[in-house]
Amino acid sequence: MKLSLRDVVLCLNGEAYSGPDADRELLRVCTDSRAVAPGDLFFCLRGERFDAHDFAQTVAQAGAACIVAARELPGLPCPVVVVDDTQKALGRLARCWRDRFGAREGTRVVAVTGTAGKTTLKELLAQTLGGVLRVAKNHKNFNNQIGLPLSILSADGTEDAWVMELGISQPGDMDELGPIIAPDLAVVLNIGPAHLQGLGDLSGVARAKASLLRHLAPGGRGLCCMDYPELWTEAQALLPDVEGFSTKNSFAKYYARFEETLSEGGGLYEVIMDGQAFWAELPACGAHFAENAAAVVGACHMLGLDAERIASGLAGANLPDQRFCCAESGCWRVVDDTYNANPLSMRRSIEAARLLAGKERLVLVLGDMKELGPGAMEAHRELGAAIAAAAPDSVFFQGEYAQAVAQGAPGVAVTRVDAPGQVLEALAGLSGGGTILVKGSRSCRMEEHAKALLAGL
Q: Which residue is nearest to Mg ion (CB)?
A: 119
Task: With CB under 5 A as the rule, give the number of residues binding Mg ion.
Answer: 3
Binding mask 306-325 for ligand ATP (x = CB under 6 A): -----------------xx-
Question: Which residue number is nearest to ligand ATP in terms of Cβ?
Answer: 117
Kindly write out the interface string for residues 145-184 of this chain, putting x where it contacts ligand ATP by CB under 6 A and - elsewhere: --------------------x-x-----------------
The yes or no reply on residue 33 touching ligand ATP (CB under 6 A) is no
Does 349 participate in binding ligand ATP (rule CB under 6 A)?
A: yes
Burial 124-143 (b: 16+ CB within 10 A, else e): bbbbbbbbbbebbbbeebbb
Stretch that binds ligand ATP, among 71-79, 112-120, 208-216, 380-388 (CB under 6 A): 112-120
CA atoms of 214 and 62, how far apart (whole Å) = 41
- Judged by CB under 5 A, which of 118, 323, 439, 449 binds Mg ion? 118
The answer to whether 349 touches 437, Cβ cutoff 8 Å, is: yes
Cα 197 from Cα 97, distance rounded (Å): 33
Q: Rounded to an integer, what distance in angstroms lies between the CA atom of residue 256 and that of residue 47?
A: 42
207 near Mg ion, rule: CB under 5 A = no
Nearer to ligand ATP by Cβ, of 345 and 435: the residue is 345
Compose the 51-90 pattern: x for residues touching Mg ion by CB under 5 A, - for all others. ----------------------------------------
Return d(Cα 76, Cα 12) in angstroms, integer: 20
138 binds ligand ATP (CB under 6 A): no
Closest distance to Mg ion from the beta carbon of 118 (Å): 5
As a whole number of angstroms, the distance between CA 7 and CA 75 comes to 23
Across the beta sheet with 254-261, the strand order is 135-137, 161-165, 108-113, 185-188, 221-225, 243-246, 254-261, 267-273, 276-282
Helix or strand (DSSP H, E) at 149: helix 147-154
Residues 425-454 within binding reach of ligand ATP (CB under 6 A): none
Which member of 13, 141, 169, 415 binds Mg ion (CB under 5 A)? 141
The answer to whether 360 touches 163, Cβ cutoff 8 Å, is: no
Contact 288, 337 (CB under 8 A): no
Counting residues that bind ligand ATP (by CB under 6 A) gives 23
Binding of Mg ion by 329 (CB under 5 A): no
DSSP string, 382-409: HHHHHHHHH--SEEEEESTTHHHHHHHS
Q: Does 215 participate in binding ligand ATP (rule CB under 6 A)?
A: no
The single residue among 211, 246, 292, 398 that binds ligand ATP, judged by CB under 6 A, is: 292
Q: Considering the complex, state which of residue 21 and residue 448 has its C-beta at the smaller distance from ligand ATP.
A: 448
Return the biggest CA–CA distance within the chain. Answer: 75
Cite the DSSP H helix spans in 196-336.
Answer: 196-199, 202-210, 229-238, 287-302, 307-316
Amino acid at 37: A
**At residue 208, what are phi and psi to the nearest 5 degrees?**
-65, -40
Binding status of residue 119 toward Mg ion by CB under 5 A:
yes
What residues contact 96, with CB distance under 8 A and at least 6 apart? 7, 11
Stretch that binds Mg ion, among 48-56, 115-123, 394-402, 408-416 (CB under 5 A): 115-123
Q: Is 169 in the site for Mg ion (CB under 5 A)?
A: no
CB atoms inside a 10 Å sphere around CB 75: 9
**Cβ at position 373, least distance to ligand ATP in Å:** 16
Of 154, 190, 246, 398, the one binding ligand ATP (CB under 6 A) is: 190
The residues binding Mg ion (CB under 5 A) are 118-119, 141
**Chain contacts with ligand ATP (rule: CB under 6 A):** 114, 116-120, 141, 143, 165, 167, 190, 288, 291-292, 323-324, 337, 339-340, 344-345, 348-349
